[in-house]
Amino acid sequence: MDLKQFIRDIPDFPQKGIIFRDITPLLKNNEAFKEAIDRLCDLVSEEEFELVVAPEARGFIIGSAMAYKLGKGFVPVRKPGKLPYKTVYEEYQLEYGTEQLHIHEDAIERGQRILIVDDVLATGGTAEALIRLVKKLGGEVAALTFLVELSYLEPRKRLEGYNLKTLIVY
């Protein structure tokens, strides 16, 4: 199945010059969504990890489905003010601004191996912040997995040395 056919391009969103890769058509198609999750799980089937860590909002969808299928725990990473317990955070640059990611301070135990999952790998800023959060809590990044990679933004340069796995590359 060609999963790219289920990803819609939206020009000039959230600002002029950005092409937003909209995965909602893929998510609403039961066969495409199942195929994407199955393939992403296959990409990491040889990796050893205990938890899936994913940021809101679309990362939750992909990451929690993968965690369920792989029989792993799931850790949500959220924007400021959304988690009820004590958090640690990292600030990072988006292609169109600055943001923060927060994680519960007890979400990861020292030495736990972590799979980071998100929907789109663009500039690598979000992924870098997720890596810093995992390390701040004493975890080890086993791999990073993304549904879509925007290779023309060269995110792999920022994430050199990490085990990256992507399903759909633009």
Encode pLDDT of 88-138 as tens digits: 999 987 656 789 999 999 999 999 999 999 999 998 999 999 999 999 999
Q: Is residue 22 part of a domain?
A: no
Residue 166: the pLDDT is: 98
Mean per-residue pLDDT, 68-74: 98
**pTM of the predicted structure, to 2 decimals:** 0.95
Q: Is residue 131 part of a domain?
A: yes
- Cα–Cα distance measured from residue 144 to residue 165, given in angstroms and rounded to the nearest whole number: 6
Percentage of the residues of the chain whose pLDDT score is greater than 70: 98
Q: Is residue 127 part of a domain?
A: yes
Q: Which residue has the higher pLDDT, 57 or 96?
A: 57
* Helix or strand (DSSP H, E) at 95: none
Q: Is residue 110 part of a domain?
A: yes
Residue 129: the pLDDT is: 96
Residue 98: the pLDDT is: 85
SS3 156: helix
Q: Is residue 39 part of a domain?
A: no
Q: Is residue 34 part of a domain?
A: no
Q: Going by DSSP bridges, is the β-strand pair 19-22/8-11 parallel, antiparallel, or unpaired?
A: antiparallel
Residue 96: the pLDDT is: 63
Per the prediction, the chain carries an average pLDDT of 96
* Helix or strand (DSSP H, E) at 107: none
Residue 152: the pLDDT is: 95
Encode pLDDT of 130-164 as tens digits: 999 999 999 999 999 999 999 999 999 999 999 99
SS3 47: coil
Q: Is residue 5 part of a domain?
A: no
Rg (C-alpha) for the chain, rounded Å, is 15
Provide the residue range defining the domain that includes 139. Answer: 46-169
Write the CATH number for 165.
3.40.50.2020
Mean per-residue pLDDT, 12-19: 88
Domains of the chain: total: 1
SS3 130: helix
Q: Is residue 90 part of a domain?
A: yes
Mean per-residue pLDDT, 36-48: 98
